[in-house]
Structure 1
Amino acid sequence: MCRSVIACEILVGCDALDHHRPLRSGDGVEKMHAKVREVVPERNCDRSPSDDIAAIETLIS
């Protein structure tokens, strides 16, 4: 359960970073964003986030 909540928070955080480009965050945040985007593409259309959340759960486990 906690892993799912953390995965949701990471997904929403990555989406927020994408919406604020070309601004950049700190090195650690940018590294985490890059790792997430290796397994989860940017969400630029209306679709279910369930597959993205599952992929992030796997990434952080």
Structure 2
Amino acid sequence: MYERPKRPGAVTADDVEQATFREALTEAIDNDPDVRAAILRLLTTARTRRPRPTITPPVRQTGRGR
């Protein structure tokens, strides 16, 4: 089915909804210390690295028993 291409300057309902959400989120971050703390907590825990799994090296045989 043919879909009309979007014009470069056209504003859609999704664009308006996304801008409204961003504005509300920015205002909540600026004015609510609980929201700000929660976001900072998420950012700091996302940066932590998971511990690497331990790898047991294979046992090598020595001598004539090979």
Query: What is the TM-score of this pair, normalised by structure 2?
Result: 0.33
Q: Larger Rg: 1 or 2?
A: 2
More helix, by proportion: 1
Structure 1 length-normalised TM: 0.36
